[in-house]
Structures are given as structure tokens and as C-alpha cells.
Amino acid sequence: MPPKPKQPRAWQRMLSGRRLDLLDPTPVDIEIEDIAHGLAFVARWNGQTKGDFPYSVAEHSLLVETLFCRLCPNAKPAEKLFALLHDAPEYVIGDMISPVKAAVGPGYGELDKRLAAAIHIRFGLPAAPSIRLKKQIKKADNVSAWMEATQIAGFSETEASRFFKRPDAALTHGLDIHLRPPVEVRRAYSARHAELLAEL
């Protein structure tokens, strides 16, 4: 009998020392230090943004959580934590722009869903947010995308509004995108995560 073909490696070694199985992730292998570090070094918009630093998924996540709090001023700490972690799986699978996600197909979504469930459980949340909460976070996500598109990604307001819907000016008042070194964003993301965990 011919030998069985060797299975490709499906795990990644994290800086914390954890070995995360990407196909079967478990909460015990999730650490916030790995998430914050990974997201701070993953660029949104495939890196096609203005400025001296990439606009990271960690920075985006902080903005989404801020916008979510404005949209839902009575949100509970757990709901805010869901908002902060909404793109957390991207610390290992990266950020893909929407057209690429569509081309890849449902496999990416399934991988994202499994990782998200492990992350949520690790930090004391249900495996998935309610449909209502998911929609609220998605609304904040779209507002963030419109801001990013018009401020740093080279879209005109007309073009961005076609894809992401122009937000109410009151919702974004006083919020501007400022690019920071990844280490600063990593610190800010970790600190906000710690604040929300302490409030649970």
C-alpha cells in the first residue's frame, strides 16, 4: 500500500507560544496579546491607504466599537466587547476586501465563524452575537468603512456612499482617522479590551 499523503500543516505558532489549529480552534489557545498584536499589523484596504502607517484592523475595530456605542448608547459591556472583537479572527486569517471574499466563496466565512466562536467563548461571551446585535455592529462597521473610504482610501463621497451608505453627520461628528504606529494601536486595543472585560 502506498503511504498516506502527508496532511498539510493547519496550525500556526503564536508569539504567546500557543499553537492555534486554524481548522479546529479552541478557546484555550486564544490570547488577547496575540489578537492585539496580529490585528495591529494587518492592514485594511490591502494597504492602499494614505499616510505613513497602514490603517490596521485593530484601529478599525476601535473605531467600530466607538461608533457602535454612539449608535447604541445603552449597550451592555458584553455587546461592546462583541463590537471590539468583530474582526478578531483576522489576526490569523488576515483581512480580505469584500470582492476577494466573494471570489473565495463560503470556505472563508466558515473559517471566520469557527475562529470567532472560539474567541468569543475565550472571553466569556456566547459563541455568536444575536442577529439583532450583529446587525447593529454591521451598521457601525459600514459607517467606519465610509469614513475610511473617504478619508484615507481615495474614494469620493459619492462613490463611498454608493457602497457603504452615507452616515448621519451627527454620528461621525468629532471622529477623524489618525494613523498610528502599530505598537501604539496594539496598546490601545489591549487596553480597551481590558476595560470591557473588567466591566463584564
Residues 105, 40, 163, 80, CA torsion sign: positive
Could you tell me the three cell numbers for 196?
470591557
Q: How is residue 164 written as a grid cell? A: 457603504
Q: pLDDT digit string (tens) for 13-25?
A: 999 999 999 889 9
Measure the CA–CA gap between 123 and 200, rounded to whole angstroms. 10
* Under 8 Å between Cβ of 64 and 115: no
Identity at 71, one-letter amino acid code: L
The one-letter amino acid at 148: E
Give pLDDT, residue 6.
Answer: 66
What CATH number does the domain containing 38 carry?
1.10.3210.10
Q: What is the mean pLDDT of residues 178-184?
A: 95
* Strand partners of residue 85: none
d(CA 166, CA 52): 27
Q: What is the pLDDT of residues 123-163, one digit of tens each?
A: 999 999 999 999 999 999 999 999 999 999 999 999 999 99
Q: Is residue 4 part of a domain?
A: no
Nearest to 161, CA basis, from 170, 175, 150, 176: 150
Task: Check whether 4 has a pLDDT greater than 80.
Answer: no
Question: Whole-angstrom Cα distance, residue 159 to residue 149?
Answer: 9
128, three cell numbers:
455568536
Considering the domain boundaries, does residue 5 fall inside one? no
Residue 153, CB half-sphere, CA atoms under 13 Å: how many? Answer: 19
Encode pLDDT of 81-129 as tens digits: 999 999 999 999 988 767 776 766 677 788 999 999 999 999 999 999 9
pTM (two decimals): 0.93
On whether residue 68 sits in a domain, the answer given is yes
Domain that holds residue 89: 28-199
- Mean per-residue pLDDT of the chain: 93
Rounded distance, CA 115 to CA 90, Å? Answer: 9
Does residue 22 sit within a domain? Answer: no
The domain total for the chain is: 1
